[in-house]
Amino acid sequence: MKRVLILCTGNSCRSQMAEGIINQALAGEWSAVSAGTEPAGYVHPQALEAMAEIGIVTDGMLSKHVGQFVDQPFDAVVTVCDSAAESCPMWFGMGKVYHQPYFDPAKAQGTPDEVMAVFRQVRDQIREELPALLQRHSATA
């Protein structure tokens, strides 16, 4: 099974959603973990809600520091925010690095329904794009 590391700054929204989506959509082919360069220390409740809406089990999801994965091999590394792409450590050179930025839904403003709509939009973009990216990677690797 191939392994992918999803990197973001806080590891509370986008990278967590990507981890859950990849592990659901590509089960048996890819195993995803996520981490942050400056972890928030929690997973955003609305990210958890957005994942639960599409049947992703979120029990046990934790905000993790990228340092936990220093000595682990990955087939691919995907940065989902510009900050993580800029600080992506060179020691991840063993896997192909992709940059696929998404708007940070934690920065959304408005009513609770409007904010939740942004979380759903980002979730759906991730669900559409990242599994396809990893399948293309598998086809060319």
Q: Which of 8, 22, 32, 130 is catalytic?
A: 8
6 three-class SS: strand
Q: Which of 6, 81, 118, 122 is catalytic?
A: 81
Active site residue 13: no
Active site residue 88: yes
Residue 61: enclosing H or E segment and its boundaries? none
Torsion from C-alpha of 129, 118, 42, 81, nearest 10 degrees = 50
Q: Which of 50, 56, 66, 88 is catalytic?
A: 88
∠ CA(120), CA(125), CA(129), 5° rounding? 150
Neighbours of 140 (CB within 10 A): 6
Active site residues per annotation: 8, 81, 88
